[in-house]
Amino acid sequence: MNTVSVCFVCLGNICRSPTAEGVMRRLVDEAKLADRILLDSAGTGDWHIGAAPDERARDAARQRGYALDALRGRQITVADFERFDLLIAMDDRNVAALRQLCPPAQRDKIRLLMEFVPESDGRWSGAREVVDPYFGGAEGFELVLDQCEAACRGLLAALRPQLLA
Ligand code: 4NP
């Protein structure tokens, strides 16, 4: 039975990547694929190692029924490029940081989350990056959730054929 492992990556691992992990986990659970699609998240920075997700991210997620409270920040390591099939970054800065750390043979594993938004979803056409909400207000966290919900639906659809292969 095939499995696929995915690590979502942002800067601090307290706002965007835990949100993506929480959104994707619910979609995977609903699809009864929790034993086939393995999920994690990490940050490229080291400021929030061991920290719970940002309270604003947890509050916004909870309103939509996602539980982020048990997640804890960690920093990406070179071993993650072996462990995971896909390292899915929230923005171009995260992609650049991942490429610096990544063994050359694993570079194809690095992707941008917003690449997975279905073309039919006009709201996000042309959006490359998940917006960094850290220095903004509560509305930024709603936007992050909207973006993660759109992209994770597309990601699940993209992973299904790999599970059957
Ligand atoms: P994240 O957001 O990368 O989505 O977790 C940030 C979290 C912390 C900082 C910046 C962005 N920071 O500068 O500490």
User: What is the distance in A from the centroid of ligand 1 to the CA of 148?
Assistant: 16
b (16+ CB within 10 A) / e for 49-72 = eeebbbebbbebbeeeebebeebe
39 Cα to the center of ligand 1, angstroms: 20
> Over 86-125, what HEC string results?
EEEECCHHHHHHHHHHCCHHHHHHEEEHHHHCCCCCHHHC
Q: What is the pLDDT of residues 72-125, one digit of tens each?
A: 999 999 999 999 999 999 999 999 999 999 999 999 999 999 999 998 899 998
pLDDT at 165 over 90: no
Considering the candidates 40, 54, 91, 132, report the single residue annotated as catalytic. Answer: 132
What is the predicted pLDDT for the residue at 6?
Answer: 98
Contacts of 69 (CB under 8 A, 6+ apart): 52, 53, 58
Radius of gyration of the chain (CA): 15
pTM metric for this prediction: 0.98
Look at residue 164 in the predicted model and tell me its pLDDT.
85
**What domains are defined for the chain?**
4-164 (3.40.50.2300)
Our answer to whether residue 132 is catalytic in this structure is: yes
Element (H, E) at 152: helix 138-164
User: Which of 16, 58, 74, 111 is an active site residue?
Assistant: 16
10 Cα: distance to centroid of ligand 1 (angstroms): 7
